[in-house]
Amino acid sequence: MKLSPVKINHLSHEIVNRLEGGININFVKDKNEIRLAIKDIITEEMNVEDQVDQRVREILEAYTRKHPEGSREWDIEYQRIHEEEMNRRRRF
Protein backbone atom coordinates (compact mmCIF):
# COMPACT_ATOMS: atom_id res chain seq x y z
CA MET A 1 0.00 0.00 0.00
CA LYS A 2 1.44 3.32 -1.05
CA LEU A 3 0.92 6.49 0.94
CA SER A 4 1.37 9.91 -0.59
CA PRO A 5 3.44 12.54 1.24
CA VAL A 6 0.17 14.39 1.92
CA LYS A 7 -1.36 11.28 3.54
CA ILE A 8 1.78 10.66 5.63
CA ASN A 9 1.71 14.28 6.78
CA HIS A 10 -1.97 13.95 7.70
CA LEU A 11 -1.29 10.75 9.67
CA SER A 12 1.55 12.38 11.60
CA HIS A 13 -0.77 15.25 12.58
CA GLU A 14 -3.49 12.79 13.64
CA ILE A 15 -1.08 10.77 15.78
CA VAL A 16 0.24 13.86 17.58
CA ASN A 17 -3.27 15.22 18.09
CA ARG A 18 -4.47 11.94 19.60
CA LEU A 19 -1.41 11.67 21.81
CA GLU A 20 -1.93 15.23 22.97
CA GLY A 21 -5.51 14.41 23.93
CA GLY A 22 -4.42 11.42 26.00
CA ILE A 23 -4.52 11.31 29.75
CA ASN A 24 -1.21 12.02 31.52
CA ILE A 25 0.72 12.65 28.31
CA ASN A 26 3.15 15.55 28.37
CA PHE A 27 5.43 16.25 25.44
CA VAL A 28 9.05 16.87 26.33
CA LYS A 29 9.79 18.15 22.83
CA ASP A 30 8.02 20.51 20.48
CA LYS A 31 4.92 18.98 18.86
CA ASN A 32 6.19 19.82 15.38
CA GLU A 33 9.48 18.04 16.10
CA ILE A 34 7.54 14.96 17.23
CA ARG A 35 5.31 15.14 14.15
CA LEU A 36 8.35 15.32 11.86
CA ALA A 37 9.91 12.32 13.60
CA ILE A 38 6.68 10.34 13.13
CA LYS A 39 6.60 11.36 9.47
CA ASP A 40 10.20 10.15 9.02
CA ILE A 41 9.40 6.82 10.68
CA ILE A 42 6.36 6.21 8.49
CA THR A 43 8.32 7.11 5.35
CA GLU A 44 11.21 4.85 6.36
CA GLU A 45 8.87 1.93 7.01
CA MET A 46 7.17 2.44 3.65
CA ASN A 47 10.60 2.35 1.99
CA VAL A 48 11.42 -0.93 3.75
CA GLU A 49 8.18 -2.41 2.46
CA ASP A 50 9.07 -1.33 -1.09
CA GLN A 51 12.56 -2.81 -0.78
CA VAL A 52 11.21 -6.11 0.53
CA ASP A 53 8.64 -6.27 -2.26
CA GLN A 54 11.36 -5.70 -4.85
CA ARG A 55 13.62 -8.35 -3.27
CA VAL A 56 10.79 -10.92 -3.13
CA ARG A 57 10.00 -10.33 -6.81
CA GLU A 58 13.67 -10.77 -7.71
CA ILE A 59 13.79 -14.08 -5.83
CA LEU A 60 10.60 -15.32 -7.49
CA GLU A 61 11.91 -14.30 -10.91
CA ALA A 62 15.07 -16.33 -10.31
CA TYR A 63 13.10 -19.54 -9.68
CA THR A 64 13.60 -22.21 -12.31
CA ARG A 65 9.94 -23.14 -12.17
CA LYS A 66 8.11 -19.90 -12.66
CA HIS A 67 4.52 -19.37 -11.58
CA PRO A 68 2.48 -16.59 -13.17
CA GLU A 69 2.02 -13.58 -10.92
CA GLY A 70 -1.38 -13.71 -9.28
CA SER A 71 -1.59 -17.50 -9.34
CA ARG A 72 -2.17 -19.34 -6.07
CA GLU A 73 1.37 -20.77 -6.13
CA TRP A 74 2.91 -17.35 -6.77
CA ASP A 75 0.86 -15.80 -3.95
CA ILE A 76 1.89 -18.52 -1.49
CA GLU A 77 5.58 -18.22 -2.36
CA TYR A 78 5.40 -14.41 -2.32
CA GLN A 79 3.88 -14.44 1.18
CA ARG A 80 6.40 -16.97 2.49
CA ILE A 81 9.43 -15.12 1.13
CA HIS A 82 8.00 -11.74 2.18
CA GLU A 83 7.65 -12.93 5.79
CA GLU A 84 11.22 -14.26 5.77
CA GLU A 85 12.60 -10.98 4.41
CA MET A 86 10.62 -8.89 6.91
CA ASN A 87 11.84 -11.08 9.78
CA ARG A 88 15.44 -10.48 8.65
CA ARG A 89 14.89 -6.72 8.75
CA ARG A 90 13.01 -6.47 12.05
CA ARG A 91 14.59 -4.00 14.43
CA PHE A 92 12.62 -4.86 17.54
List, for residues 31-70, the tens digit of each pLDDT value: 999 999 999 999 998 899 999 999 999 999 999 888 899 9
Q: Which amino acid is at 83?
A: E
Rounded to whole angstroms, the Cα distance separating 66 from 62 reads 8
Quick check: 73 pLDDT over 90?
yes
Q: What's the whole-model pTM score?
A: 0.69
Burial-class residue 13 by CB neighbours within 10 Å (0-12, 13-18, 19+).
middle
pLDDT on residue 26: 84
Rounded to whole angstroms, the Cα distance separating 37 from 23 reads 22
Rounded to whole angstroms, the Cα distance separating 57 from 59 reads 5
Triad 16, 19, 25: Cα angle to 5°? 130
Rounded to whole angstroms, the Cα distance separating 23 from 41 reads 24
The mean pLDDT of the chain is 91
Quick check: 20 pLDDT over 90?
no
- The pLDDT confidence band at residue 22, using thresholds 50, 70 and 90, is confident
pLDDT on residue 91: 60
